[in-house]
């Protein structure tokens, strides 16, 4: 199963039956993959996945359901979305940065709670998430190399793209010469 296909199928199921979203939201209160009413919405699409990948798929689906009413537009990777929210916070607020740091340090047992809190905050701020990319990253979360966590950290704390830096630099030099 490809993550894009999974979320397309999930969206189709949710459009056909609004209870699907409610059930998946409720499943967020349980360990991933342990809420039986969610099985019909997920199990048909996760053939052949290992235990962790199955749990990660249930986790991503639960987070998706929590955000689905407010999640519109082109989604961002989770670190880009978190950085966007962090940049929109009041000056000096470290809440999102602290949550994101705790998420990076989370083991598979803590991950569901930390991820659920962050994705809920992003949904409340109407910052869309690229769910298939998130699912791919979650599948690799337990890698010994921690490449997902490293990639997320680099993306969250990276400098703005060069074209934005060049624009702001040219504006500041134009301001100083006037």
Question: Lowest-confidence range among 1-10, 69-78, 92-101?
Answer: 69-78
Q: What is the DSSP string of the chain?
A: --HHHHHHHHHHHHHH-THHHHHHHHHTTS-TT--GGGHHHHGGG-TT--HHHHHHHHHHHHHHHHHTTT--SSPBPHHHHHHHHHHHSPTT--HHHHHHHHHHH--HHHHHHHHHHHHHHHHHTT--B-HHHHHHHHHTTT-TT-HHHHHHHHHHHSPPPHHHHHHHHHHHHHHHH-
Is residue 92's pLDDT more than 90?
Answer: no
Are 127 and 81 within 8 A, CB to CB? yes
Are 78 and 149 within 8 A, CB to CB? no
Residue among 17, 5, 1, 103 at smallest CA distance from 65: 17
Six token digits for residue 133: 């990319």
pLDDT tens sequence across 33-62: 999 999 999 999 998 999 999 999 999 999
pLDDT tens sequence across 113-171: 999 999 999 999 999 999 999 999 999 999 999 999 999 999 999 965 444 433 434 44
Q: What is the pTM of this model?
A: 0.85
Distance CA 89, CA 95 (A): 9
């Amino acid at each position: 199963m490809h993550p894009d296909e999974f979320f397309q199928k999930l969206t189709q199921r949710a459009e056909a039956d609004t209870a699907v979203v409610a059930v998946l939201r409720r499943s967020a209160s349980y360990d991933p993959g342990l809420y039986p009413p969610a099985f019909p919405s997920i199990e048909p699409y996760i053939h052949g996945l290992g235990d962790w990948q199955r749990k990660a798929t249930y986790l991503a689906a639960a987070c998706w359901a929590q955000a689905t009413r407010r999640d519109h537009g082109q989604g961002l990777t989770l670190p880009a979305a978190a950085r966007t929210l962090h940049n929109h916070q009041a000056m000096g607020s470290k809440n999102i940065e602290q949550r994101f740091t705790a998420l990076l340090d989370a083991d598979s047992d803590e991950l569901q709670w930390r991820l659920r809190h962050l994705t809920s905050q992003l949904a409340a701020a109407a910052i869309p998430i690229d769910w298939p990319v998130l699912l791919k990253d979650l599948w690799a979360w337990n890698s010994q190399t921690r490449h997902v966590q490293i990639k997320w950290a680099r993306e969250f704390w990276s400098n703005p793209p060069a074209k934005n830096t060049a624009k702001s630099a040219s504006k500041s030099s134009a301001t100083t010469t006037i």
